[in-house]
Amino acid sequence: MRIQYLLLLLLVLGLFGKAQAQMRFFNEAENVYKAGQYYKAVDMYRNAYDKIQGSEIKGEIVFKIAECYRKTGQPRKAELWYNKAISKEYDNPMIYLYHANALKTNEKFDEAIENYKEYKKLKPDDPRGQMGIESCRKAKQWMENPNGYKVSRLRYMNSTEDDFAPAYSKAEYNEIYFTSAREEANGDEQNGATGQPFTDIFYSQQDMSGKWSDPEPITNRVNTEVEEGAPAFTGDYNTMYFTRCEVDRKKKLGCKIYRTVKDNGEWEKAEPLTLAPDSMVVAHPTITDDGSTLYFVSNIDGGYGGMDIWKVNRKGEQGWSAPVNLGSKVNTPGNEMFPFIHPDGTLYFSSDYHLGMGGLDIFKATPKPNGSYQVSNMRYPINSTHDDFGIIFESEKERGHFSSAREGDDEIFSFVLPPLKFSVEGTVLDKKSEDPLQNATVKLVGSDGMTMSSKTGEDGKFKFMLRPETDYVFVASKEKYLTNKGKASTQGLEESKTFKREIPLSSIEEPIELPNIFYDFNEWSLRAESKDALNRLVETLNDNPRVVIELRAHTDFRGKHWFNVELSTKRAESVVNYLIEHGIDSERLRAKGFAATQPKQVGPKLAARHDFLEEGEVLTEAFIKNLETEEQRETAHQINRRTEFKVIATDFEP
């Protein structure tokens, strides 16, 4: 018995020791993960996953591996491992949110929406579920309708490692400082979060042909064995602010903003700014041209979420005011990073929480008189479903550079918004036949006072170039036709556009039917739905101030002739009265009722609309009575019941 007991005890101790050894692998990975060294932690988690057998902790490990891939910017691998964690029924609602984010980054929008919906069920009070659904829909919409910017990857400036956060270092915008983890950077250690070397600040210059030089590191008085990056300059380009990050004794990466001044063309030794306690992250500076206000990113207490954007004002030569948070219009429960203050006061920044396409999106914050901001997404192609950040602008042009992970590692791209071009292309047509009208005159009238005119060719076409922020009217006229017009406006347009317009002209040599004029049965009072058509007639008469018209009303043949004459006359008079009430001179108007004495002749449009009618047929009483069905007969009656006008003079003196 004693021997059996000892054997059992040894077995239990062996199993306990094995379990402890397995948990050691997991705990070591956890410590590295908590220190923010995700690139290193992912391999340790995968090793722990292979060592641990039959443990419930495997689901936790799979989730943490997915988290490492998410935090190191590897969305395809993150998607795979989140999916594995879901299949293992890992009990954490966040898995659906993060899985959806990865799917969205990989442009699998429909699958992402399903995961956002699942997260929304589990966490109905968290707005990120609904925001994710909306962001997928917006991303598809924006990608289908780009905003006009032209984006290009800078082939000569980028390396196989991360290159990001550009800044102009000369007033001519032909030299760029930027952050890079390329091999030429100082230091032999790797960043545990990225798996790449510590970053340094490099520069590249553009020659007269537009080609950028091979990047070189700036002075070692700025670059060190630790990480430097995210440079920013004052308007004279003689003072530079940048971020320096160092690993402390607890293996955590801490960041501060440093300042250096140029003396005889060389950067002096950089000195740190004291903007927050040492335990806080302070990074990503941007400075106003005059050097009076510094914006930066920090997790200082009192913010709205992860990283917020703050500002300080200069006090004296070296001192700064207490940090001020930019408020809830800019900052969110997520992360706001990489601010850039434009000389015109507009703030650009990146956020992973404001409604965007995925990852970090670039946003434009326009200051309002009350001190808050109007924030808008820069849309595609500035933004993508990957991280987009670190944008800079030339002061006088809609042109600049930014960084993006859309092609894998972080890389630097250029962008430009070509000058907006607006035009109108149109055709003048005969309203009845729809044939193009040659030699029609089209006059362009702009709200800025510009007027132009042209004649249409054989194809009835006309074209004008338009100016931004202007309203236009195009007035078409031709002998023996009523003048008509079209409209267009370039007010508020942010993309180039060609307007397409058709201007139909009605011949004055035959009656012109007024569509959608309605009366109650056996009544002559106009129904409300007739007023749109009559208002268009008022506009036509105002556009043709010398014409005199006769309003003609027609009935079908049913009923007493004397009654139909009276009914049609009063209906025509109702239209005349409406026109007079709306400012048309009574001397230009006549009213006449025709009862059923002028049945409608079928034109090409009516024939195309009704298969029982042929072009040229007249809808007489005999013709209607011979139609096959009651429905056809009622349709013919309805066609005969119409209101028209005929131009009877063109020499009225207003």
Tell me the two tokens of residue 403. 């960084």
At 280 the pLDDT is 85
Tell me the two tokens of residue 512. 């012109």
Spatial separation of the C-alpha atoms in residues 574 and 563, rounded to whole Å: 16
At 188 the pLDDT is 67
At 90 the pLDDT is 86
Tell me what the pLDDT averaged over the chain comes to. 88
At 459 the pLDDT is 94
3-state secondary structure of 339: strand
Cβ atoms of 431 and 505 within 8 Å: the answer is: yes
State the amino acid at position 566 in one-letter form: E
Query: pTM for the whole thing?
Result: 0.70
What residues contact residue 10 under an 8 Å CB cut-off, 6+ apart? none
> What top-level class would CATH report for the domain 422-505?
mainly beta
The mean pLDDT of 310-317, rounded to a whole number, is: 87
What residues contact residue 501 under an 8 Å CB cut-off, 6+ apart? 424, 425, 426, 427, 474, 486, 488
CA 646 to each of CA 92, 507, 510, 641: distance values in angstroms, whole numbers, following the listed order: 76, 10, 6, 16
Beta strands in 73-224 (DSSP E): 150-153, 163-168, 175-180, 200-205, 216-217
Residue 414 has pLDDT above 60, yes or no: yes
Spatial separation of the C-alpha atoms in residues 355 and 142, rounded to whole Å: 12
The CA-CA-CA angle for residues 228, 229, 235, to 5°, reads: 125
As beta bridge partners, residue 319 has: 315
In which band, very low, low, confident or very high, does the pLDDT at 2 lie, cut at 50, 70 and 90?
very low
Q: Which of 185-199, 466-480, 508-522 has the highest mean pLDDT?
A: 466-480
Which one has a higher pLDDT value, 313 or 23? 313
At 278 the pLDDT is 78
Please give the CATH topology (third level) of the domain spanning 150-416.
Neuraminidase (2.120.10)
- DSSP characters for 8-68? HHHHHHHHHHHHHHHHHHHHHHHHHHHTT-HHHHHHHHHHHHHH--S-THHHHHHHHHHHH
**Lowest mean per-residue pLDDT among 9-23, 43-57, 608-622, 625-639:** 9-23
The mean pLDDT of 548-574, rounded to a whole number, is: 90
Spatial separation of the C-alpha atoms in residues 475 and 483, rounded to whole Å: 7
pLDDT digits (tens, 9 = 90+) for 272-287: 998 988 778 999 999 9
Residue 15 has pLDDT above 80, yes or no: no
The mean pLDDT of 142-165, rounded to a whole number, is: 91
Q: How many CA atoms lie within 13 A of 430 on its CB side?
A: 16
Cβ atoms of 414 and 151 within 8 Å: the answer is: yes
At 250 the pLDDT is 56
Cβ atoms of 518 and 533 within 8 Å: the answer is: no
The mean pLDDT of 83-88, rounded to a whole number, is: 88
Question: Which residue reads 């709306």 in tokens?
Answer: 582
Q: Does the fold of domain 512-649 match that of domain 150-416?
A: no
Q: How many CA atoms lie within 13 A of 604 on its CB side?
A: 5
Which one has a higher pLDDT value, 49 or 167? 167
Residue 352 has pLDDT above 90, yes or no: yes
3-state secondary structure of 650: coil
The mean pLDDT of 113-129, rounded to a whole number, is: 93
Residue 130 has pLDDT above 90, yes or no: yes
Spatial separation of the C-alpha atoms in residues 623 and 617, rounded to whole Å: 9
The percent of residues in the chain predicted with pLDDT above 70, rounded, is 94
The CA-CA-CA angle for residues 345, 349, 352, to 5°, reads: 155
Residue 14 has pLDDT above 50, yes or no: no
Alpha helices in 72-127 (DSSP H): 75-87, 94-105, 109-122
In which band, very low, low, confident or very high, does the pLDDT at 3 lie, cut at 50, 70 and 90?
low
Q: Is 595 left (phi over 0), alpha (psi -120 to 50) or beta?
A: left
Per DSSP, the chain holds a count of helices (H) and strands (E) of 12, 33
CATH number of 512-649: 3.30.1330.60
The mean pLDDT of 225-230, rounded to a whole number, is: 92
pLDDT digits (tens, 9 = 90+) for 427-483: 999 998 889 999 999 999 999 989 999 999 999 999 999 999 999 999 999 999 999
At 231 the pLDDT is 97
The correct CATH number of 23-144 out of 1.25.40.10, 3.90.110.10, 3.40.1050.10, 3.40.50.970 is 1.25.40.10
Tell me the two tokens of residue 338. 């990489």
pLDDT digits (tens, 9 = 90+) for 585-642: 999 999 999 999 999 999 888 888 899 999 999 999 999 999 999 999 999 998 998 8
Residue 520: phi and psi, rounded to 5, are -70, 160
At 11 the pLDDT is 44
What residues contact residue 454 under an 8 Å CB cut-off, 6+ apart? 441, 442, 462, 463, 464
Domain ranges of the chain: 23-144, 150-416, 422-505, 512-649
